[in-house]
Chains A and B, each alone.
Chain A
Amino acid sequence: MAYTVPKLADYSAAALTSAAAECVRECAREANRVRTVAELKAFRDRWLARKGGVLTQINDLWLKNAPKEAKREAGMGVNQLKARIQEIVASAIAPPVEPALARCETVDRVDVSLPGIRRPIGAEHPVMRASREMCAVFQRLGFSIAEGPVVETDYYNFEALNFPPNHPARDTQDTLFIAGQQSKPQRERLLLRTHTSPVQIRTMEKMRPPIRIVIPGTVHRNDPPDASHSPMFHQIEGLAVDRNITFGNLKGTLDHTMKEFFGSSVKTSFRPSFFPFTEPSAEMYVSCFICGGSGNRESGPCRPCKQTGWIEILGCGMVDPNVFEFVKDNGYDPKKISGFAFGMGADRIALLKYGVDDIQLFFQGDVRFLRQWA
Chain B
Amino acid sequence: MKLSAQWIRDFVDLAVDDQRLAQDLTAVGVAVESISGSGADCVFEMEIGTNRPDAMNHYGVAREAAAIYDLPLKQLSVARSPSAAQASPTGAFPIAVEEPALCPRFSARVIRGTDIKPSPREIAHRLQLLDQRPISNAVDATNYVLWQMGKPTHVFDMDLLEGRRLIIRPAKNGEKLKTLDGVERTLTAEDLVVADAKRPVGLAGVMGGFDTMITDKTKNILIESAWWDPLTVRKTARRHGIHTDASHRFERGADFESTVPSCDLVAELILSSGGGELIGDVIDVVSNKLDQAPIILRLSEVHRVLGGNLKTVEIFRILKKLGFGLIPEGQAGIEFEVRIPSWRLDVEREIDLIEEIARMHGYDKFENTLPAYSGAVVEPPNAAMDKALLQRALALGYNEAISLSFISHEDAETFSAATVLELENPLSAEASVMRTTMVPGMLGMLAWNLNRDLDDVRLLEMGHVYEMRDGDRVEPARLCLGATASAVRAEISPESAIDISSAGANSPSARENRGKDGAARPQVAEEFRCFKGDVENLLSAVAHDELTFDRQTAEYFHPGRSARVLMDGMPVAQFGQIAESVKNERKLRRDLYLAEFDLDQLHARGLRRMVYQALARFPAVERDFSFVFSDDVEFLAMWRAVRALRIAQVRDFKPVEIFRGGSIAAGKYSILLRMRLQSDEATLRDELIAHWSEKIVGALRQLGGVQRA
On whether the beta carbons of B354 and A151 are closer than 8 Å, the reply is: no
Q: Which residue of A lies closest to B426 (CB)?
A: A176
On whether the beta carbons of B466 and A150 are closer than 8 Å, the reply is: yes
B526 at the interface (CB under 8 A from A): no
Q: A218-B463, A274-B50 are in contact. Are A151 and B473 (CB under 8 A)?
A: yes
On whether the beta carbons of A124 and B400 are closer than 8 Å, the reply is: yes
**What separation, in Å, do the CA atoms of A178 and B472 have in the docked complex?**
12
**What separation, in Å, do the CA atoms of A237 and B422 have in the docked complex?**
27
Contacts of B427 in A (CB 8 A): 176, 222, 224-225, 231
- Chain B nearest CB: distance from A261 CB in Å? 16
Chain B residues 29-53 with CB under 8 Å of chain A are 29, 31, 49-52
B92 at the interface (CB under 8 A from A): no
A338 at the interface (CB under 8 A from B): yes
How many residue-residue contacts, CB under 8 A, span A and B? 244
A272 at the interface (CB under 8 A from B): yes
Partner of B475, one of A151, A242, A269: A151
Chain B residues 346-395 with CB under 8 Å of chain A are 349, 351-352, 354-355, 358-359, 363-364, 366-371, 373-380, 383, 390, 393-395
- Chain B nearest CB: distance from A121 CB in Å? 6
Partner of B306, one of A168, A172, A248: A248
A251 at the interface (CB under 8 A from B): yes
On whether the beta carbons of A255 and B466 are closer than 8 Å, the reply is: no
A177 at the interface (CB under 8 A from B): yes
Chain B residues 415-432 with CB under 8 Å of chain A are 421-427, 431
Interface residues on A, range: 35 or more
**What separation, in Å, do the CA atoms of A210 and B377 have in the docked complex?**
12
Partner of A279, one of B52, B351, B463, B473: B351
**What separation, in Å, do the CA atoms of A171 and B247 have in the docked complex?**
14
On whether the beta carbons of A190 and B29 are closer than 8 Å, the reply is: no
B666 at the interface (CB under 8 A from A): no
A95 at the interface (CB under 8 A from B): no
Q: A125-B402, A279-B352 are in contact. Are A367 and B457 (CB under 8 A)?
A: yes
Chain A residues 255-273 with CB under 8 Å of chain B are 255-256, 269-273
**What separation, in Å, do the CA atoms of A121 and B393 have in the docked complex?**
9
On whether the beta carbons of B394 and A124 are closer than 8 Å, the reply is: yes
Q: A125-B401, A366-B452 are in contact. Are A253 and B370 (CB under 8 A)?
A: yes
B352, B373, B449, B459: residue with the most chain A Cβ atoms closer than 10 Å: B373
B221 at the interface (CB under 8 A from A): no
Contacts of B406 in A (CB 8 A): 231-232
On whether the beta carbons of A244 and B371 are closer than 8 Å, the reply is: yes
Contacts of A272 in B (CB 8 A): 27-29, 355, 358-359, 363
On whether the beta carbons of A178 and B368 are closer than 8 Å, the reply is: no
Q: Which residue of A lies closest to B304 (CB)?
A: A338
On whether the beta carbons of B355 and A374 are closer than 8 Å, the reply is: no
**What separation, in Å, do the CA atoms of A212 and B372 have in the docked complex?**
11
A15 at the interface (CB under 8 A from B): no
Contacts of A139 in B (CB 8 A): 377
On whether the beta carbons of B400 and A145 are closer than 8 Å, the reply is: no
On whether the beta carbons of A177 and B424 are closer than 8 Å, the reply is: yes
Q: Footprint of A on B, CB under 8 Å?
A: 26-29, 31, 49-52, 231, 234-235, 251-252, 304-308, 349, 351-352, 354-355, 358-359, 363-364, 366-371, 373-380, 383, 390, 393-406, 421-427, 431, 434, 442, 444-446, 448-449, 452, 454, 456-460, 463-464, 466, 473, 475, 492
A168-B252, A176-B426, A269-B364 given; name 10 further pairs at CB < 8 Å.
A144-B378, A151-B434, A177-B424, A178-B421, A192-B423, A272-B358, A273-B49, A338-B305, A363-B402, A365-B444
Q: Footprint of B on A, CB under 8 Å?
A: 119-125, 127-128, 139, 141-147, 149-151, 166, 168-169, 171-172, 176-181, 190, 192, 210-212, 218, 220, 222, 224-225, 230-232, 240, 242, 244-249, 251-253, 255-256, 269-274, 279-282, 318, 320-321, 338, 362-368, 370-371, 374
A selection of 28 A-B contacts at a CB cut-off of 8 Å is A121-B395, A122-B393, A122-B397, A122-B458, A124-B390, A141-B373, A145-B380, A149-B473, A151-B421, A166-B234, A168-B252, A171-B50, A210-B375, A224-B427, A246-B369, A247-B306, A251-B369, A252-B367, A252-B368, A272-B28, A280-B354, A338-B304, A363-B402, A363-B403, A363-B404, A365-B448, A365-B459, A367-B454
